[in-house]
Structure 1
Amino acid sequence: MAEDQPPASLPSRPKELAEEAAAPSKNALKKAAKDKEKAEKAAKRKAAEDAQRKESEASDISSDDYGHVPLVGLPSSTPAEVPWVRLSEIASEFTDTTPMDESGGPHVIFQAVAENARVQSAKLAFLVFRQGQDTIQAVVAASDTLSRQMVKFAGSMSAESVVLVHGIVKKPKELVKSTSISHLEVHVKKLYIISEAEVLPMQLADAERALPVEGEEAQEDDSRPIVTLSTRLNNRTIDLAAKQNRAIFTIKDGVVALFSEYLRNLGFIGIQSPKLLGASSEGGSNVFEVKYFERKAYLAQSPQLYKQMLIAAGWDRVFEVNPVFRAENSNTARHLTEFTGLDLEMAFDRNYHEVVELLEGLMLYIFNGLRTKYKDATETVRKIYHVEEFKLPEAGKVPRISFAEGIQMLREDGLEIGDFEDLSTPDEKRLGALVLKKYNSDFYVLDQFPLAIRPFYTMPSASHPYFSSKETGSSAPATVPDPNTGYSNSYDFFMRGQEILSGAQRIHSAAFLQQRMREAVTPVDPNSDGLRDYVNAFKYGCPRHGGGGIGLERIVMLWLGLPNIRLASAFPRDPGRLLP
């Protein structure tokens, strides 16, 4: 047997080839050299920049005079002699300061919003600061005591950032036409950012442009598209910073103040009625249902029933400023699902026109107060929404026309309409135009509405068949063939042809109230949970009384000529909007 042979060996690679395979390619070497060179250059550049920055910081004489305020604030190191001021105080208190090209001037400190910043050069920047409706120009100028770095910081500030300013009040060379404070400016000495604004989703300048009236096309301005109402409401906190919006809500607050002031001076007492109800109280379906622990509850449509119950309790004059909730799927320019009601109720002596006269006096007091106390705010809005000034009648001469007379005026103007037909919004506006032409007044009262279109608690007119058969006293009148015919002791108030107030004499007899509930166009059960306590309140004696409910946002919208009622609500609610 042959001996085993060792396995044949594989041929070995030449030494030169092995070394060549292990060595990097020429391209790889070149790339590595370039990368190294780039890295070295970048490191040198960064070192140079760091050195330059350190040198710059070391030579920045204003390094402590600008920057960002820590969240907890700056140390309390302000000299006692330096006052903290409002811009409005600067405008009124420092008129005798020195011109800008002279030294000296009062040193002040204030917080404001940086509305905009404009760099003029490496040594000069201009800013506009805003507080509420007040704006003032500010100058940041490099000098022996203020660095270029601070000028650069000021000029790069984002719009709408909240800042803390130390400055000297000076007189500019000429009036500054772009700010509300035109005769003064602030020369900034220290500037700190309290809250830095991010890039805005819409520009404030766009929020200060007029929205088109419903049904009309937007008017383009400088080829810039109109920012829609929806976009403005989706970014409402930015939108509300616009100067006309601040003015709108100043006026809205003024209406509430004037309303309360007038009524308190006449012996009315303010009340707060509940807004969560255990049952729908006024018989309608336009209520919002909410969960209340393990049962249902409803948001109040008005304080009407509670106002009347307080009259029955002997509170002869009451009023309330209250939220009102209406589940009406009305997507118009004048409807909201939540609005503010100005409500009042009062006992009267002779007849319900005592209530009408008081309401007329109240509205004229509000209008005249807006004309005088809130003139500037009104003019701010009317510079954007160019509406004619609201025409007012003299005291005691408010046009008061009957519903029948109003129908006749519309017929004479060519409208076909029935004697007892409710007025549509276009009908109301048409009648308002006719009243304006005849009486030269944007404000008027329409009296004696048809009973069929008013709530069940409305007192029928003295001419109604209820009262022609017998003297009723405090009992219920006799049953009549058509109980919902004829007129009622009810009225609406109008501004610019649109209704702002609805009111009436109320039924104060429990027996008659129960009868009207059952006989109304839309009957309701006087023994239901939502109405039983209300009816019982009148069983123990109640004076004759009447009142009204006013839509606050409607007054503001129509006084200013706004195109949409949502502009008169800070965060409006309508069928499609529950946010923000």
Structure 2
Amino acid sequence: MRIPIQDVTPETGTAEIFGWVHEVRDLGGLAFFLIRDRTGIIQVTVPKKKASEHVLTAIKEVSRESVVRISGTVKAIDKAPGGRELVPEVFQIISRSESPMPLDVVEKVPAELDTRLDSRFLDARRPRVAAVFTIRSAVIHKVNEFLFSHGFVNITTPKVVAAATEGGTELFPIAYFEKEAFLNQSPQLYKQMMMAAGFEKVFEIGPIFRAEEHNTTKHLNEATSIDVEVSFADHYEVMNLLEDLVRDTYLHVADHCQDALANLEIRDFAVPDCPFPRLNYAEAIAIAQKKIEEPIGYGDDLNSAAERAIGEEMGCHYFIVDWPTEIKPYYAMPFEHDPSICKAFDMMHPRMELSSGAQRVHQHDLLVQQISAKGLNPESFEFYLTPFRYGMPPHAGWGLGAERVVMTMLGLGNIREAVLFPRDRHRLVP
């Protein structure tokens, strides 16, 4: 029976393993192979004078990254990975790898990101790359666990829609039989409709699509959004929920992903402290004005330079609150005492924005008014507006970018490193 490589010890006596040939060294009388599966690496040592004929034949024909089945005796040896080696009685080549390969899995020869993404199936064999997706999986697992434990209902909303969530910009139009349709920018409208259904707490983890033309290190055209909506809650309550989720996710990774963090050479994995500082928009603009040369004024959205400048000042996760109503979406609730400011927030990492949220407008007439103020036609949103006529509770929520969480958590240089098969302005395959 196959044993995962991490479970092979001298105490097992004999073992059968399956995996890929990571490295080969032939020293004449001895041949050494490092065999890798998803759990780790083990050294296989072949003393040629003692090896059977079929083992000798196999080790002559095998190539790096071939898939093999090996069984034999496990021995303790200090210098080998994990302090043990496997001396084979059976060495079977299951699937031989062609040579040369498009990139070096051992990482002795560096490859550009585009080369890596072209052969992502090979790139993901690298322990460092596999570690990123092990941690990403742990992040998504913990987010699900956290939200279920807080009484949330998981929903699935359509990705092919008839109306834009926030207007006509950054939209992917598609042919939908005889009708015009779009890939959805966000589940925002649908998760709000579920508040009218009485679900009270909903979440979705799914793809969103934005025709973002800028080809930057932090933008994707297909991303994964973690979305939450909560009835009878204001923006402060969902901010508290968000910071607790982020902190608990970091703690989960710290507790359960030590090997993956080690593969990424992350030795000082810092868990953010709660509560996150809260900076109002006017204060954020004042910090940016002092630190960057390009002009930025009240009423402007924050560009990358401003985000970096404020992040350097803050040095931790933080919120920007009390945004001008005119630069936030129509569904953000204005303050009663000053409608020019709304109950919206962004959660920031020192490097970039991770999440946007707000208390939502739940009054039908105010929502129609704000849609019109954005230059949009309320008739295009009738399916969305109708539930607001039949008892819509106050509610608030947010959307959190999964790739940005992983990117900032692990200090990755490019958001494409946090996606198995990224879609950007130039990449449609693989």
Alignment-derived partner of residue 70 in structure 2: 165
Q: CA deviation at 1:96?
A: 3.5
Please state if 1:202 is matched with 2:103.
yes
Q: 1:328 aligns with which of 199, 203, 212?
A: 212
Please state if 1:85 is matched with 2:3.
yes
The separation in 1 between residues aligned to 2:327 and 2:262, in whole angstroms, is 39
Distance 1:281 1:358, change over 3 A: closer
Please state if 1:241 is matched with 2:125.
yes
What does 1:2-13 align with in structure 2 at a 5 Å threshold?
Answer: none
Paired residue secondary structure (1:192): strand
The separation in 1 between residues aligned to 2:86 and 2:271, in whole angstroms, is 41
Paired residue secondary structure (2:27): strand
Conserved 8 A contact 1:346-1:355: yes
The separation in 2 between residues aligned to 1:561 and 1:318, in whole angstroms, is 30
The separation in 2 between residues aligned to 1:509 and 1:335, in whole angstroms, is 34
What amino acid does structure 2 have at the position aligned with 1:449?
Answer: W
Q: CA deviation at 1:374?
A: 1.9
Paired residue secondary structure (1:489): strand
Paired residue secondary structure (1:204): coil
Q: CA deviation at 1:132?
A: 1.2
The separation in 2 between residues aligned to 1:538 and 1:449, in whole angstroms, is 24
The normalised TM-score by structure 1 is 0.71
Distance 1:274 1:379, change over 3 A: same
Alignment-derived partner of residue 23 in structure 2: 116
Alignment-derived partner of residue 353 in structure 1: 236
The separation in 1 between residues aligned to 2:379 and 2:170, in whole angstroms, is 20
Paired residue secondary structure (1:501): strand
Distance 1:289 1:539, change over 3 A: same
Q: CA deviation at 1:452?
A: 1.4
Distance 1:414 1:188, change over 3 A: closer
Alignment-derived partner of residue 69 in structure 1: none
Structure 1 stretches of 5 or more lacking a match?
Answer: 1-82, 98-105, 209-223, 437-441, 466-485
Q: CA deviation at 1:110?
A: 1.9
Alignment-derived partner of residue 36 in structure 2: 130
What amino acid does structure 2 have at the position aligned with 1:498?
Answer: M
Alignment-derived partner of residue 327 in structure 2: 453
Conserved 8 A contact 1:355-1:547: yes
Residue correspondences, number: 428
What does 1:257-336 align with in structure 2 at a 5 Å threshold?
Answer: 257-336=141-220
Q: 1:432 aligns with which of 285, 290, 311?
A: 311
Paired residue secondary structure (1:231): helix
The separation in 2 between residues aligned to 1:371 and 1:444, in whole angstroms, is 21
The separation in 2 between residues aligned to 1:89 and 1:391, in whole angstroms, is 30
Question: 1:134-182 CA distances to partner (integer Å, 9 max, x unpaired)?
Answer: 00000112345623x633531441110001111111112x232xx3xx2
Distance 1:145 1:356, change over 3 A: closer
Please state if 1:151 is matched with 2:52.
no
What amino acid does structure 1 have at the position aligned with 2:156?
Answer: Q
Conserved 8 A contact 2:344-2:358: yes
Conserved 8 A contact 1:141-1:151: no
The separation in 1 between residues aligned to 2:391 and 2:398, in whole angstroms, is 22
Paired residue secondary structure (1:493): strand
Q: 1:368 aligns with which of 233, 251, 258?
A: 251
The separation in 1 between residues aligned to 2:413 and 2:152, in whole angstroms, is 34
Question: 1:93-113 CA distances to partner (integer Å, 9 max, x unpaired)?
Answer: x3546xxxxxxxx22212111
The separation in 2 between residues aligned to 1:373 and 1:145, in whole angstroms, is 40
Q: CA deviation at 1:284?
A: 2.3
The normalised TM-score by structure 2 is 0.94
Q: 1:464 aligns with which of 322, 333, 338?
A: 338
What amino acid does structure 1 have at the position aligned with 2:3?
Answer: V
The separation in 2 between residues aligned to 1:228 and 1:252, in whole angstroms, is 22
Conserved 8 A contact 1:133-1:246: no
Alignment-derived partner of residue 186 in structure 1: 86
Question: 1:69-126 CA distances to partner (integer Å, 9 max, x unpaired)?
Answer: xxxxxxxxxxxxxx32111221xxx3546xxxxxxxx2221211111222111x4211
Question: 1:428-468 CA distances to partner (integer Å, 9 max, x unpaired)?
Answer: 011011011xxxxx211111111111111111123324xxx
What amino acid does structure 2 have at the position aligned with 1:87?
Answer: I
The separation in 1 between residues aligned to 2:165 and 2:305, in whole angstroms, is 30
Q: 2:282 aligns with which of 404, 408, 415?
A: 404
Alignment-derived partner of residue 444 in structure 1: 318
The separation in 1 between residues aligned to 2:11 and 2:255, in whole angstroms, is 29
What amino acid does structure 2 have at the position aligned with 1:361?
Answer: D
Distance 1:242 1:268, change over 3 A: same
What does 1:500-519 align with in structure 2 at a 5 Å threshold?
Answer: 500-519=354-373
Conserved 8 A contact 2:136-2:406: yes
What does 1:547-558 align with in structure 2 at a 5 Å threshold?
Answer: 547-558=397-408
Q: CA deviation at 1:362?
A: 1.2
Q: CA deviation at 1:359?
A: 1.2
Conserved 8 A contact 2:2-2:17: yes
Q: 1:142 aligns with which of 14, 36, 48?
A: 48
Q: CA deviation at 1:202?
A: 1.6
The separation in 1 between residues aligned to 2:411 and 2:51, in whole angstroms, is 51
Question: 1:470-492 CA distances to partner (integer Å, 9 max, x unpaired)?
Answer: xxxxxxxxxxxxxxxx3210001
Q: CA deviation at 1:233?
A: 1.0
The separation in 2 between residues aligned to 1:380 and 1:451, in whole angstroms, is 45
Paired residue secondary structure (2:121): helix
Q: CA deviation at 1:405?
A: 1.8
The separation in 2 between residues aligned to 1:109 and 1:389, in whole angstroms, is 35
Percent of residue pairs identical: 34
Conserved 8 A contact 2:10-2:74: no
Alignment-derived partner of residue 339 in structure 1: 223
What amino acid does structure 1 have at the position aligned with 2:272?
Answer: L
What amino acid does structure 1 have at the position aligned with 2:62?
Answer: M
Say which one has the larger Rg: 1
Distance 1:139 1:145, change over 3 A: closer
Structure 2 stretches of 5 or more lacking a match?
Answer: none
